[in-house]
Amino acid sequence: MREPFIALDKDLRVRTANDAYYRVFQTSKAETEGNLFCELEGGQWNSGDLRQRLENVRADRHPIKDFEIAQSFSKLGHRIMVLNATRFISKNSFPDMVLLAIEDVTERRQLERAKMQAEISADLHRRKDEFLAMLSHELRNPLAPIGPGGAGARPAPGAVTGPDQLPFRAEADTGPDRLGR
């Protein structure tokens, strides 16, 4: 097996571990076998929640499936581990065991986080570009809604206009044209 794997006895002491466990956690058989799992490496695995879950597995209540732990390990630094455990019932005279597999998913989680951040960043850039394109269009054509020659400011045909409105009409007729020059 490529992933770290441990066999625990009824007291949750390590009966054996595979080479991957010793390699990943930089430890030896002498430091591991015969010790309580939760006391390995100075108690790094000593979590009340994990201990309770392992005891439930031992009592044949519930296997552990994809239980994630994020913590700092003395030799590895901060890691994210996914644990799976099940009870192994022996068919012969060997005592029952709890089989525990440990997978280091730190790099996978970091890649997932980086991918999500890249997607968010790309979305923000796309929104910024859309906003700038719309803003640029609006700044190039500020009077487009008024129309050429100030058509938007002209009175409706047949509307009564008084002599006091003539200066404003003249400005409305020539204003947009002056802005375009």
159 found inside a domain: no
Identify the pLDDT of residue 91: 74
Domain span at 48 = 5-104
**Across 46-60, average pLDDT:** 87
Residue 85's pLDDT band (boundaries 50, 70, 90)?
very high
167 found inside a domain: no
CA distances from 2 to 21, 74, 89, 104, 181 (A): 9, 22, 23, 11, 75
Q: Is the pLDDT of residue 22 over 90?
A: yes
Identify the pLDDT of residue 82: 94
Length of the chain: 181
91 plus 33 within the same structural domain: yes
- 118-176, pLDDT tens digit by residue? 888 888 888 888 888 888 877 887 766 665 555 555 666 666 666 665 555 555 555 55
52 found inside a domain: yes
Identify the pLDDT of residue 47: 83
- 57-83, pLDDT tens digit by residue? 888 778 999 999 888 888 888 999 999
Cα–Cα distance, 23 to 111 (Å, whole number): 23
Identify the pLDDT of residue 73: 84
Q: Check: pTM over 0.75? Answer yes or no.
A: no
141 found inside a domain: yes
Total tally of structural domains belonging to the chain = 2
CA distances from 154 to 149, 151, 158 (A): 9, 5, 11
Cα–Cα distance, 21 to 4 (Å, whole number): 4
90 plus 116 within the same structural domain: no
Cα–Cα distance, 42 to 49 (Å, whole number): 17
Identify the pLDDT of residue 173: 54
Q: Is the pLDDT of residue 90 over 60?
A: yes
77 plus 45 within the same structural domain: yes
DSSP letters for 57-76:
HHTTS--EEEEEEEEEETTT
Identify the pLDDT of residue 102: 94
- 96-122, pLDDT tens digit by residue? 889 999 999 998 877 878 788 888 888
